[in-house]
Amino acid sequence: MQAKGEFEVTRIPQEELEIGEGATIGHSRFDKRFRGGLEASSVVHMLALMSPVQGSGAYVAIERIEGTLDGRRGSFFVQHNGTMDRGKPSLDVTVIPDSGTGELEGLHGRIGIDITDGKHYYTFDYDFRDA
């Protein structure tokens, strides 16, 4: 199954985190609102690090999404794993196994994110395992 739509993002910077020998990583909270096949809101906490080489870095995040997915109500968590290798991006956003609640119990899948002309779009390929 597949859900598609648009989402809005609000970034709320958090205090940087010390990671040893004076190095710090960025910490941000994002509040999102999804429209389309996924009608939901979410909270994301992201940790990010840029390397000294221009265009290279990484981020990890955990996101809790609550709302309806093609008419099924519940919540679930996703894990973000993103890297930038000298300007070449790679992103994996995956439903955390067995994190679905309510009518989203057994949910698994991946969410693709595209940003075009400053607008955020998602494509969510998913299905349900036996609970």
Token pair 């973000």 in the structure block, residue: 80
Q: Output the 3-class SS for 24-45.
A: EEEEEEEEEEEEECEEEEEEEE
Dihedral pair phi/psi, residue 48, rounded to 5°? -140, 150
- Is pLDDT at 131 greater than 60 in this prediction? no
Rounded mean pLDDT, 8-20 = 95
In tens, the pLDDT along 104-121 reads 999 999 999 999 999 999
Q: Do the beta carbons of residue 112 and residue 120 sit within 8 Å?
A: no
- Kindly indicate the confidence band of residue 130, based on its pLDDT and cuts at 50, 70 and 90: confident
The whole-model pTM stands at: 0.93
> Quick check: helix, strand or coil at residue 13?
strand
Rounded mean pLDDT, 116-127 = 97
- Kindly indicate the confidence band of residue 23, based on its pLDDT and cuts at 50, 70 and 90: confident
User: What's the Cα-to-Cα distance from 87 to each of 57, 58, 71, 113, 117, rounded to whole Å?
Assistant: 9, 11, 38, 17, 18
Average pLDDT, the chain: 96
pLDDT for the residue 120: 97
pLDDT for the residue 73: 98
- Is pLDDT at 89 greater than 70 in this prediction? yes
Q: Give exposure, 63-85, as e/b (b: 16+ Cβ within 10 Å).
A: bbbebbbeeeebbbbbebebebe
